[in-house]
């Protein structure tokens, strides 16, 4: 009687017991993929090169303010023209590594050994250098060789590499990428910028080499010269359509131009937080630069040349009267033109043909390469003004206006070498308006245009335009030994410390 | 089956009848308890034979027994009585077995064990502990068990509860395992408020009805809960529901109706200056709007001043009644009907409950229903079948937001200037249908009536909990037991921000639906044997298979199109998503208990858990962990002859290793997709925390030693325990360098130590025929210490206050985990002081802002509960005082009251400026007068130290005055018992040091205790209970 029940009982127990002992598939995430194709990773690394917070508070709020393209009466945020120190200085570092650096590195991880993706790998190497150069140009020594790969390498506290080594590494990567580009291999996956056009990537890669080469002119002249020559030989941009930019799309939050979106969302036109700087406005006005109609407008939309007015840099609401005794309200000062550069589908520009022409003009004046500097200068002006068409109908500058501008013969009028370099540098500054990172880097390298530092009383850096950004404070508690090592080598972690290439 | 047994009994009786025909008499009588109430289900047996019966519903019995034989009366928990069989009716009075030598307690895995054999401290609560009800079952433990810390946030009757036993042992989960009838429940929490506000979505334990509980055993930590292995580190609460009782049908009705009133210390508010800025009443509507909630206006002089709605009203103090005028009509109604009964073979209990709550916040309600069936049946061949099925249904409307401003309707109650009557905001909307704001410049200060009647939150939970058990007693040594049970929950929720909401005009709606639960299947084989006269052992081995899952879908609609029609279809943009997870643990366990002469007991147990969350193809580290335990219990009073006043002495000690939980899908990277642009989808790594392929759960090593000693025949008892609980390899989401690409990594690095003492003093100071006084004091002290976080991280911020967050008004305060400090300390900016403790002031007359330093601990180290029951004739008075000491709280409510000028402390200096008491930097007394508004706003924005208060308290937690109607009176109505009670909860606070708010005003049940801001006010609850036994 008892065994009759015992046996089925035990069998029941044992069978249930041996169920589900294999747990391997039970721990696979059903919500998110554990693998991904390279294409979307490249698209991500391109699209998210800018975001709202950074474009407002770093691109415009610091970089453009420091080189006096924009100005404000703010005293805390958006006060780069007073050289104040805020958390945003470190945020660019943190967000860069957590977003595009991590994903472009993952893209490289997934394509480097895959023959089918050799072109994507090549582009990833070039783009990675583009993304890194912006970071190192702002901070100097930064984590590079050990960075962005935390899961695969299990390196949680990357060391800081010397900027000289970072530049070598970036240039090496670009050259490798250029050599790997192969028109007969499968195309580039997920390329938002050039839609898979290998020739354009070749020109971009070489143009980036040109930019990096010129940057090193004071720190390592021979390496700089060799790089520039290689770049020209390899073939740089020669047409405005070679422009490297992200063409944004209006309508959806994630694809709109982040700068335009944040201007609209925070009402920055009406609030007067961002104004065209008096320094910049003077340049546009004294040269009757037709780009004034594209860049500037009064808050009420007026684009009349005579009405445009720039705000002096370095003042707040109380002290503005020292510079402008008749100051009445911010509404009288020009800001960004909402019908052009603040459109939701305005592109975000990273490297242009105009810049490339100007850098070549400089290189010619240095006797590094052959050519006609004046021709390159004029090509640059034409290219930049024609490029304004990317901002829509209101951005189109007629050929007539362009020729009228060139008829001023500014190049001829610059007699000395120094005057010519000044003209080229100043033109660079006007042409890279909105790409604050590049305007700031180029100003530090060349010293052009001449800028009078602001003398704001509340600033710890009164009278000295910053030469770099400071590291995020959290690095001191989390990655202390490495960041202090960097300080030992580079100098104090201060806004005034000069990074490796900044030897002017 | 029942018939076969009955037949056997009948045969046996006939046999004995044959043998002793002439000597048989009929023995009859009644069995009652000490109060005179009839006891049903008492076993009445002829000693040494199988002749027996049970008493019926009226306590009567009748059986045939040999003359002069001994009749034995026995019932669990009562001292057995022996009487000789006589012709005359027997009147038996059974006394409760105070020494409880053979008391059986339900322990881990639902095993009943004799309390004397247990090597660890255990507390058992019976039905009478749940007399004064709360809306959350877990909250009814407050003040009753040493070592158990109960925290109830100010989120209303539908809120969750946090229970920690013997301190906090982990950076992750610190709540114990809840088991009902041997089956673990799903105690998932559906969201908690954080620094940016939010609602408390409720937890799992709150759906269970305490009216259905027969006993609750608190297993205080790894040593007691060791058999639960990886789920044992924080202890376990074992709940056994009521079974039927032998003998007739019992119908019982329990009803209670209570009211709630808000309790606010109005003496901490100022009622002398009204709305305005810089010392003057607003002269124009524009000035009124600019002032908003600021009470820095002029002295209340009765003149007519314009208010937010354009109406001129006298500038007088009307605000004192704002709290009582708004938080009103709160009540609770609870009804529970049960029918139970049974015989020797079948016991059953059916119960149906209905609970309705009208919370303090207007238009916030909750309704709960539960229906349960509990069945025990003795089948043939030694098989016992037991099942319990409970259906729970919960409907909640308008859970309240606390902390932060947005959608928090409590904010204006705490901050309204004293000249404004809250009821002037009652229209809720303006002429265009938008939220009627106090000021358009302060859109985040919500209109409380708008929140009550226009903003809408709703959720519905339907839940089935069931446990089915089959036990087969193979012979007198072997038994087999199988059990399967589960907790399955379906919850739907909806949250609507209507069009016209002040801070977000377009409005939005979100919908959610989740299906989750846990199922456990368990089987074990047990073997008990007496080896010889002295030694015997009980043992078992078994396995358990656990599956837990959750599947949830959410839909979100933004920007309503047509006003007044709040559905997702009526929105401009919609989005949604789905997520799910599954988690499995398979376990093998065993235990052996050796006993020597019934006075020395050795227990050894082990459990091995295999985790799905640690499994991955190609992983080299193991996915299973072993958890052993060992313990000893020695009854000295049995082993030696002790003086008679020492009635019981036991010493015990145990050691165990237990584990923690680990979530699935944490071992690998995952990817997600973002926007698609020009036809290209963007994709990226979704993790910002580096997964750890070698992740494992924490290990907790605990040991305890204690003694249970009783004097004077149990009139006085002392139960003392010293415990140590050390956690190693706790999973830390450690901050790493962002240059790695990630902000955090999961590492097994944390070490947290806890040690403490628990003391339970129980006494019966007075016991006469008419009066009895029982008292019990439970005391516990816990000392926690963070030993290590990771090798690089010495501290991290667990949470920060809303004040000062993102640069907003108020001063920030933080809850830190810091090496060398107790768990969860409060840190914030401080005053700078000289060697004599005087505050140092700057040249501007304002205190110098000092560094951020430790200002208190968020968790109280001391908890003391004092319970008394006085019984006099048919009356009884029960009082429970609950207290906690040593913890602190940062009060955002007080901080903002300084900032806005509503605090009574901001009165000083309004006319002539404030001269801060302290010294200047050079040591001379400070003499600079600062305008009051500037002074107090500065303090509010800069000195967190001013707002960290001692959160110790002593409260009258529960009170019940009961009366049992006389038996002769109710017998006429055909009833067995009627009891009426006057009950109260949180009736009075004897001691508290925080202005304005109650010391128990935290807003979350998370690990970050010690922050408070703008929650619901505390409430006093009192009313009536009625119990009828038909």
Chain B residues within an 8 Å CB radius of A192: 677-678, 680
Pairing of strands B236-241, B177-180: parallel
CA distance A479 to chain B (A): 6
Residue B680 has its nearest CB partner, among A39, A48, A97, at: A39
Residue B638: per-residue pLDDT? 83
Write out the DSSP string of B49-117: SS-EEE--TTSEEEEEEETTPEEEEE-TTB--EEEE--SSPEEEEE-B-SS-TT-EEE-GGG-EEEGGG
Whether residue B682 and residue A40 make contact (CB cut-off 8 A), yes or no, is yes
The residues near B630 (Cβ < 8 Å, ≥ 6 apart) are B602, B603, B604, B605, B654, B655, B656
- Report DSSP state, residue B664: S
Min Cα–Cα distance to chain B from A161, Å: 12
Question: Which pLDDT score, from 0 to 100, does residue B16 have?
Answer: 44
For residue B296, is pLDDT > 60? yes
Do the Cβ atoms of A19 and B680 come within 8 Å? no
β pairing state of B383-397 and B112-114: unpaired
**Pick from B582, B684, B735: which is nearest to A44 by CB?**
B684
Which pLDDT value is given to residue A4? 58
**Residue B1 confidence (pLDDT) above 80:** no
Best probe of the A interface among B733, B740, B797, B808, by most A CBs < 10 A, is B740
Element (H, E) at A279: helix A278-286
Q: Which of residues 75-114 of B touch A (CB under 8 A)?
A: none
* B26 has a pLDDT exceeding 90: no
* Closest among A461, A359, A484, A467 to A138, alpha carbons compared: A467
Question: Which residues in chain A have their CB less than 8 angstroms from residue B385's CB?
Answer: none
Cα–Cα distances in angstroms (integers) from residue B171 to residues A196, A446, B585, in the given order: 49, 53, 22
User: For position B19, what pLDDT does the model report?
Assistant: 46
pLDDT at A392: 92
Contact A296, A289 (CB under 8 A): no
Cα dihedral A172, A173, A178, A184, rounded to 10, equals 140
For residue B615, list chain A residues with Cβ-Cβ distance below 8 A. Answer: 23-24, 26-27
More confident residue, A443 or B972: A443
What is the rounded (10 degree) CA torsion for B745, B747, B751, B752?
Answer: 50
Q: How many CB atoms lie within 10 A of CB B362?
A: 19
B10: pLDDT strictly greater than 70: no
- B residues 585-644 closer than 8 Å to A (CB): 586, 610-617, 623
Q: Find, in chain A, the residue whose alpha carbon is nearest to that of B692.
A: A151
According to the model, what pLDDT value does residue B1021 have?
A: 95
Residue B854's alpha-carbon distances to A355, A501, B241, B830, B932, in angstroms, are 55, 45, 45, 9, 28
Q: Report the predicted TM-score, pTM, of the whole model to 2 decimal places.
A: 0.82
For residue B471, the chain A residue with the least C-alpha distance is A9
Tokens 């021979």 — which residue? A222
Contact across the interface for A27 and B664, Cβ inside 8 Å: yes
Q: Is B384 on the interface with A (CB under 8 A)?
A: no
Contacts of B545 in chain A (CB under 8 A): 16-17, 19-20
Indicate if the pLDDT at residue B997 is higher than 60.
yes
Q: How confident is the model at residue B12 (pLDDT cuts 50, 70, 90)?
A: very low
Looking at the complex, report in whole angstroms how far the Cα of residue B509 sits from the nearest Cα belonging to chain A: 19
B527 touches chain A (CB under 8 A): no
Residues of A in contact with B582 (CB under 8 A): 26, 30
- Are B545 and A103 a contacting pair at CB < 8 A? no
Q: Which residues contact A218 (CB under 8 A, 6 or more apart)?
A: A445, A501, A502, A503, A504
Q: What is the pLDDT of residues B39-85, one digit of tens each?
A: 877 888 887 777 788 888 788 888 888 887 888 888 876 777 888 88
Q: Residue B9: is its pLDDT beyond 80?
A: no
Residue A23: what pLDDT? 82
Q: What is the pLDDT of residue A368?
A: 95
Give pLDDT, residue B99: 53
| Nearest residue in chain A measured CA to CA from B483 | A13
Residue B980: is its pLDDT beyond 60?
A: yes
Query: Pseudo-torsion of CA B318, B323, B328, B333, nearest 10°?
Result: -160
Reported as type and span, the H/E element at residue B708 is strand B699-711
pLDDT recorded at residue B973: 83
Q: Which residues contact B45 (CB under 8 A, 6 or more apart)?
A: B51, B52, B71, B72, B74
Q: Per-residue DSSP letters for A50-67?
A: S-HHHIIIIIIIIIIHHT
For residue B127, give how far its alpha carbon lies from the nearest alpha carbon of chain A (Å): 35
The pLDDT score that the predictor gives to residue B893 is: 96
Are B688 and A98 an interchain contact pair (Cβ–Cβ within 8 Å)? yes
The stretches in chain A having pLDDT less than 70 are 1-21
**Beta carbons of B947 and B891 less than 8 angstroms apart:** yes
**Which of B42, B110, B74 minimizes the C-alpha distance to B471?**
B110
**Chosen from A8, A32, A97, A471 to mutate, greatest number of chain B CBs within 10 A:** A32
| Contacts of B105 by beta carbon, 8 Å cutoff, 6+ apart | B112, B113, B114, B115, B118, B122, B124, B217
Domain boundaries along the sequence of chain A: 38-196+467-492, 253-336
Reported as type and span, the H/E element at residue B254 is strand B249-263
Distance CA A16, CA A7 (A): 14
Chain B positions touching A482 (Cβ under 8 A) are 737
Rounded distance between C-alpha atoms, residue B714 and residue B100, angstroms: 10
Whether residues A27 and B792 touch (CB distance < 8 A) is answered with no
Task: Average the pLDDT over B501-509 and give the result.
Answer: 92
Please compute, for residue B181, the number of CA atoms within 13 A of its CA located in the half-sphere on the CB side: 28
Q: Which of the four pLDDT bands, split at 50, 70 and 90, describes residue B22?
A: low
Nearest to A439 by CA among A448, A449, A429: A429
β-bridge pairing B875-885 and B862-872: antiparallel
Nearest CB to A41 within list B579, B683, B741:
B683
Q: Which residues of A touch B737 (CB under 8 A)?
A: 143, 156-158, 475, 478-479, 482
Whole-number Cα distances in Å, B846 to A310, A478, B939, B1003: 40, 35, 8, 32
Give residues with Cβ within 8 angstroms of B266, minimum separation 6. B320, B323
pLDDT of residue B3 exceeding 60, the answer is no
The predicted pLDDT at position A16 comes to 54
CA distances (Å), B455 to each of B397, B408, B446, B450, in order?
11, 10, 10, 6
Cβ–Cβ of B736/A248 closer than 8 Å? no
d(CA B227, CA B221): 11
What residues of chain A lie within 8 A of the CB of B547, using their CB?
20
| B208-258: pLDDT as tens digits | 998 999 999 999 988 888 888 888 889 999 999 998 888 778 899 999 999
Average the pLDDT over B189-205 and give the result.
90
B7 pLDDT more than 70: no
Q: What integer pLDDT is reported at residue A43 of this predicted model? A: 96
Partner-chain contact A151 B688, CB within 8 Å: no
CB contact under 8 A, A149 and B741: yes
Alpha carbon distances (Å) from A360 to A378, A424, B17, B147? 12, 10, 124, 78
Contacts of A39 in chain B (CB under 8 A): 680-681, 683
Q: Are B1008 and B826 in contact (CB under 8 A)?
A: no
Give the SS3 label for residue B915: strand
Q: In this structure, are residues B401 and B408 in contact, taking their beta carbons and an 8 Å threshold? A: yes
Question: What are B773-793's pLDDT values in tens digits?
Answer: 999 999 999 999 999 998 888
Rounded Cα–Cα distance for residues B842 and B627 (Å) = 60
- Choose between B18 and A70: higher pLDDT: A70
The distance of A386 to chain B (nearest Cα, Å) reads 24
What distance in Å separates the CA atoms of residue A232 and residue A214, rounded to the nearest whole number? 12
Average pLDDT score, chain B: 90
Is pLDDT of B101 > 70? Answer: no
Mean pLDDT for B304-324 is 93
Report pLDDT for A62.
95
CATH number, span A38-196+467-492: 1.25.40.390
Q: What percent of chain B has pLDDT over 90?
A: 70
Determine the average pLDDT of the residues in B387-396: 96
DSSP tally for chain B: helices H, then strands E: 10, 54
Which of B637-646, B765-774, B814-823 has the highest mean predicted lDDT (pLDDT)?
Answer: B814-823
Q: How many helices (H) and strands (E) does chain A have?
A: 24, 8
Residues 6+ apart with CB under 8 A from B383: A5, B470, B471, B472, B473
Q: Do A2 and B582 touch (CB under 8 A)?
A: no
Q: At a CB cut-off of 8 Å and minimum separation 6, what does A237 contact?
A: A203, A204, A207, A243, A351, A352, A353, A356
Which of B385, B554, B739 is the mutation pick for testing A, counting most A CBs within 10 A?
A: B739
B732 pLDDT above the threshold of 80: yes
Tell me the C-alpha distance between B980 and B875, whole Å.
10
Task: Check CB contact of B685 with chain A, cutoff 8 Å.
Answer: yes
């Amino acid at each position: 009687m008892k065994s009759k029940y015992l046996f089925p009982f035990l069998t029941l127990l044992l069978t249930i017991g041996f169920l589900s002992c294999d747990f391997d598939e039970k721990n696979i995430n059903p919500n998110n993929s554990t693998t991904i194709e390279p294409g979307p990773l490249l698209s991500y690394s391109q699209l998210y090169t800018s975001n709202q917070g950074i474009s407002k508070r770093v691109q415009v709020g610091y970089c453009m303010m420091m080189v006096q393209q924009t100005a404000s009466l703010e005293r805390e945020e958006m006060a780069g023209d007073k050289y104040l120190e805020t958390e945003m200085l470190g945020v660019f570092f943190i967000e860069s590594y957590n977003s595009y650096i991590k994903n472009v590195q993952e893209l490289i991880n997934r394509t480097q050994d895959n023959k089918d993706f050799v072109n994507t790998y090549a582009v990833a190497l070039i783009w990675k250098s583009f993304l890194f150069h912006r970071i190192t140009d702002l901070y100097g020594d930064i984590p590079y060789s050990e960075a962005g790969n935390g899961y695969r390498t299990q390196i949680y506290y990357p060391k800081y590499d010397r900027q000289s080594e970072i530049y070598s590494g970036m240039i090496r990567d670009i050259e490798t990428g250029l050599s790997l580009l192969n028109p007969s291999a499968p195309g580039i996956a997920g390329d938002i910028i050039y839609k898979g056009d290998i020739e354009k990537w070749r020109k971009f890669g070489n143009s980036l080499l040109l930019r990096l080469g010129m940057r090193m002119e004071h720190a390592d002249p021979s390496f700089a010269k060799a790089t520039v020559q290689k770049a020209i030989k390899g073939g740089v941009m020669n047409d405005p359509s070679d422009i490297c930019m992200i063409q944004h799309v209006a309508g959806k939050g994630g694809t709109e131009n982040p700068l335009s979106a944040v201007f609209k969302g925070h009402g920055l036109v009406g609030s007067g937080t961002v104004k065209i700087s008096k320094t910049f406005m003077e340049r546009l006005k004294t040269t009757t630069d037709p780009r004034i109609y594209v860049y500037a407008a009064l808050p009420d939309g007026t684009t009349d040349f005579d009405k445009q007015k720039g705000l002096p840099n370095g003042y707040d609401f109380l002290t503005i009267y020292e510079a402008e005794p008749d100051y009445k309200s911010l509404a009288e000062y020009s800001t960004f033109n909402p019908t052009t550069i603040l459109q939701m589908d305005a592109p975000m520009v990273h490297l242009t043909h105009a810049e490339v022409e100007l850098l070549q003009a400089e290189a010619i004046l240095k006797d590094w390469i052959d050519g006609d500097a004046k021709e390159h200068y004029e090509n640059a002006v034409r290219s930049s003004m024609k490029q304004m068409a990317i901002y829509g109908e209101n951005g189109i500058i007629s050929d007539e206006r362009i020729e009228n501008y060139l008829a001023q013969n500014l190049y001829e009028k610059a007699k000395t070498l120094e005057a010519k370099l000044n003209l080229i540098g100043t033109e660079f500054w006007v042409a890279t308006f909105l790409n604050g990172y590049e305007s700031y880097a180029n100003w530090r390298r060349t010293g052009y245009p001449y800028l009078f530092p602001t003398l704001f009383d509340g600033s710890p850096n009164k009278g000295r335009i910053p030469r770099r950004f400071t590291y995020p404070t959290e690095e001191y508690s989390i990655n202390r030994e490495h960041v202090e090592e960097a300080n030992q080598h580079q100098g104090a972690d201060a806004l005034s410390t000069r990074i490796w290439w900044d030897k002017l | 089956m029942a018939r076969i047994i009955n037949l056997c009994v009948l045969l046996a009786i006939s046999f004995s009848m044959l043998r002793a025909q002439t000597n048989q008499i009929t023995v009859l009588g009644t069995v009652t308890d000490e109060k005179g109430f009839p006891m049903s289900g008492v076993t009445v047996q002829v000693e040494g034979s199988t002749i027996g019966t049970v008493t019926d519903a009226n306590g009567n019995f009748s059986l045939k027994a040999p003359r002069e034989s001994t009749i034995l009366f026995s019932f669990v928990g009562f001292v057995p009585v022996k009487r000789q069989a006589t012709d005359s009716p027997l009147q038996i009075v059974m006394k409760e077995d105070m020494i409880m030598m053979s008391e059986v307690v339900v322990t881990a895995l639902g095993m009943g064990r004799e309390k004397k054999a247990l090597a660890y401290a255990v507390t058992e609560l019976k039905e009478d502990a749940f007399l004064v009800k709360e809306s959350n079952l877990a909250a009814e433990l407050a003040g009753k068990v040493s070592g158990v810390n109960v925290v109830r946030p100010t989120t209303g009757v539908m809120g969750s509860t946090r229970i920690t036993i013997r301190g906090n042992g982990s950076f992750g989960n610190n709540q114990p395992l809840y088991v009902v009838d041997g089956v673990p429940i799903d105690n998932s929490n559906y969201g908690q408020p954080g620094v940016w506000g939010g609602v408390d979505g409720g937890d799992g334990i709150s759906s269970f009805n305490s009216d259905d509980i027969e006993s609750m055993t608190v297993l205080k930590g790894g040593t007691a809960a060791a058999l639960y292995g990886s789920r044992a580190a924080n202890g376990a609460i074992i709940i056994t529901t009521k079974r039927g009782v032998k003998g007739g049908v019992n119908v019982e009705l329990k009803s209670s109706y209570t009211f709630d009133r808000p309790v606010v210390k109005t003496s901490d508010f100022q009622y002398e200056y009204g709305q305005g800025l810089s010392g003057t009443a607003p002269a124009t509507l524009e000035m009124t709007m600019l002032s908003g909630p600021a009470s820095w206006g002029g002295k209340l002089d009765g003149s007519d001043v314009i208010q937010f709605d354009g109406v001129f009203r006298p500038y007088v103090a009307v605000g004192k009644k704002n709290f009582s005028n708004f938080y009103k009509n709160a009540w609770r109604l609870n009804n529970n009907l049960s029918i139970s009964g049974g015989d020797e073979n079948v016991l059953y209990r059916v119960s149906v409950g209905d609970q309705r709550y009208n919370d303090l916040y207007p238009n916030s309600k909750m309704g709960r229903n539960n229906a349960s069936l509990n069945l025990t049946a003795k089948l043939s061949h030694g098989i016992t079948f037991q099942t319990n099925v409970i259906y729970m249904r919960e409907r909640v409307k308008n859970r309240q937001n606390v902390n932060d401003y947005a959608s928090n309707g409590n904010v204006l109650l705490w901050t309204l200037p004293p000249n404004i009557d809250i009821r002037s905001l009652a229209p809720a909307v303006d002429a265009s249908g938008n939220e009627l704001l106090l000021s358009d410049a302060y859109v985040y200060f919500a209109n409380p009536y708008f929140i009550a009647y226009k903003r809408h939150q709703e959720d519905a939970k339907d839940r089935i909990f069931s446990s089915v058990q089959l036990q087969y007693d193979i012979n007198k040594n072997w038994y087999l037991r199988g059990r399967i049970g589960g907790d399955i929950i379906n919850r739907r929720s909806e949250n609507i921000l209507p069009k016209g909401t002040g801070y977000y005009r377009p409005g939005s709606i979100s919908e959610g639906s989740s299906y989750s639960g846990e199922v456990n299947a368990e089987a074990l084989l047990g073997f008990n044997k007496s080896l010889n006269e002295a030694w015997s052992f009980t043992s078992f081995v078994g396995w358990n298979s656990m599956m837990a899952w959750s599947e949830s879908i959410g839909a979100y609609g933004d920007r309503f199109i047509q006003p007044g029609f709040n559905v997702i279809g009526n929105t401009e943009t919609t989005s949604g998503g789905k997520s799910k997870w599954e988690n499995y643990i398979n376990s093998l366990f065993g235990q052996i208990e050796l006993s020597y002469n019934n006075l020395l007991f050795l227990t050894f147990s082990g459990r091995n858990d295999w985790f799905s969350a640690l499994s991955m193809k190609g992983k080299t580290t193991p996915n299973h962990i072993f958890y052993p335990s060992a313990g000893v219990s020695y009854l000295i009073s049995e082993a030696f002859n002790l003086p008679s006043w020492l009635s019981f002495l036991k010493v015990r000690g145990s050691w165990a290793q237990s584990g923690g939980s680990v979530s699935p899908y944490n071992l690998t990277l995952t990817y997600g997709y973002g926007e698609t642009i020009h036809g290209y989808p963007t994709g990226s790594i979704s993790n910002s925390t580096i997964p750890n392929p070698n992740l494992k759960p924490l290990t907790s090593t605990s040991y305890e030693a204690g003694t249970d000693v009783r004097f004077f025949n149990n009139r006085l008892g002392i139960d003392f325990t010293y415990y140590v609980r050390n956690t190693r390899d706790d999973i830390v989401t450690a901050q790493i360098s962002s240059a790695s690409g990630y902000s955090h990594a999961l590492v097994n690095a944390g070490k947290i130590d806890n040690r403490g003492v628990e003391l339970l003093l129980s006494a019966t100071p007075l016991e006469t025929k008419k009066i009895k006084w029982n008292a019990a004091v439970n005391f516990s002290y816990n000392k926690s210490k963070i030993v290590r976080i990771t090798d690089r991280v010495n501290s991290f911020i667990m949470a920060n206050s809303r004040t000062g967050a993102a640069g907003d008004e108020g001063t920030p305060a933080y809850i830190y985990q810091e090496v060398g400090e107790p768990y969860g300390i409060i840190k914030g900016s401080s005053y700078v002081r000289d060697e004599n403790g005087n505050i140092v002031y700057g040249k501007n007359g304002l205190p110098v802002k000092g560094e951020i330093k430790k200002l208190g601990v968020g968790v109280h180290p001391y908890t003391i509960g004092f319970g008394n029951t006085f019984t006099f004739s048919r009356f009884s008075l029960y009082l429970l005082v609950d207290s906690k000491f040593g913890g602190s709280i940062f009060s955002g409510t007080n901080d903002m009251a300084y900032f806005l000028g509503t605090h009574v402390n901001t009165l000083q200096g309004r006319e002539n400026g404030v001269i801060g008491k302290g010294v200047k930097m050079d040591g001379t007394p400070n003499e600079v007068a600062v305008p009051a508004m500037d002074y107090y706003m500065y303090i509010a924005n800069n000195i967190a130290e001013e707002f960290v208060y001692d959160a110790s308290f002593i409260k009258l937690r529960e009170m019940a005055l009961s009366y049992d109607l006389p038996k002769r009176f109710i017998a006429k109505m055909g009833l067995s018992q009627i009891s009426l009670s006057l009950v109260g909860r949180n009736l009075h606070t004897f001691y508290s040091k925080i202005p304005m708010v109650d010391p128990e005003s935290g807003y979350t049940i998370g690990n970050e205790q010690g922050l408070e801001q703008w929650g619901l006010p505390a409430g006093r609850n009192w009313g009536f209970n009625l119990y009828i036994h038909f």
